Chains A and B, each alone.
Chain A
Amino acid sequence: MLRIMCFLLAILASGITSADVSAVYGFASRSEEQRYQNLIAELRCPKCQNQNIADSNSPISKDMRNAVYQMMQEGASNDEIVESLVGRFGEFVKYKPDLDSRTFVLWATPAIAVLGGLLVVAGVVVRSRRAGTAAPALSADEQARIEKMLAEKNRNGKA
């Protein structure tokens, strides 16, 4: 009897804790929850630098998730939420930095790489074309000489 009681108590207790965890963040709709998930996935933890705040267990990430949730409940837009965190922790917390003079090279690098690759390809193509057309045609005289040489070679081969 005691054992059963203990068992029931344990189940009850576990029910309480798990309900507690899911009750931390309640969302009005599925899309709101998705918006929250997207936001915390694109914000970077300033302490554990290669994690977003969704993945990080650090206390500061927890505080940041709380702040995101609170601001969402107060009806803030995504931009407002991100800007408010950037205002505290700096541009660093954005995994997608704004396009400005400092980040221009960063954003332009893929385009520069593609452009560079295209230039190399274009260079190779142009050069091979030029080589193709520039090969001097044989004059009638040379043609006759070649045929004579080939004929001679054939004869030698047979002999």
Chain B
Amino acid sequence: MKRFLLFLPLLVAIIVGAFLFAGIGKDPTKLDSALVGKPVPVFSLKSLKQPEATLDESLFQGEVTLLNVWGTWCPACRDEHADLMWLAQERKVPIIGLNYKDNRDDALVWLDRLGDPYRTVIYDPKGTLGFDLGVYGAPETFVIDASGVVRYRHVGVVNVEVWEQILLPVITKARGNG
């Protein structure tokens, strides 16, 4: 019994150590989306590129798409823009943009100057759809399957590494099941 008690601190240290070790490398600022497994929220917003057209959640029916949340006020969105262009042009990934809390003129100038990787852009100046999607900081990128269900949410910049290691596997899986 006494012998056993001597090993107790070691045992406690191992348990606590294992617990803490599991937390190393996790980025606490990246939260799992509450919407994974749920359909894209109901919305009705104007298109950025055709101001007279109204878009709704049926936009996401039919094929696996990326939904990229961006704004011209967001420096990290500028960083990932070239990679989005690459995804759209080289990899033929359908990307739908959500122009979040921005104004139309600035956004159109941005797309004109930097190129337009988006198939369609939803114009959300008040951030209502962004709020319903649980967007807490642009850029965020959602993987949405062919039936309009959110499969994954990536917080932060999309680049080649993120694409290959995170998004592509999720998309491949979504395509397989959809």
- Listed in ascending order, the chain A residues whose CB lies under 8 Å from chain B are 46-47, 49, 59-60, 63, 67, 86-92
Contacts and interface: CB of A to CB of B under 8 A. Distances in A.
Contacts of A91: 34
B31 A46 contact: yes
Contacts, number: 34
Contacts of B137: 47, 60
Contacts of B133: 88
A60 B31 CA distance: 15
The prevalent SS among residues of B at the interface is: loop
A146 to B, nearest CB: 31
Nearest to B73: A59
Contact of A88 (B28, B29, B101, B134): B134
The prevalent SS among residues of A at the interface is: helix
B33 A63 contact: no
Interface of B: 28-29, 31-35, 101, 127, 131-137
When A and B form their complex, which 9 residue pairs have the shortest distance between CB atoms, in order from nearest?
A90-B34, A46-B136, A88-B134, A89-B134, A47-B136, A60-B136, A92-B31, A47-B137, A63-B131
Given A88-B131, A89-B136, A49 B34 contact: no
A89 B132 CA distance: 9
B28 A86 contact: no
A90 B32 contact: yes
A60 B134 CA distance: 9
B45 to A, nearest CB: 16
B20 to A, nearest CB: 14
B154 to A, nearest CB: 15
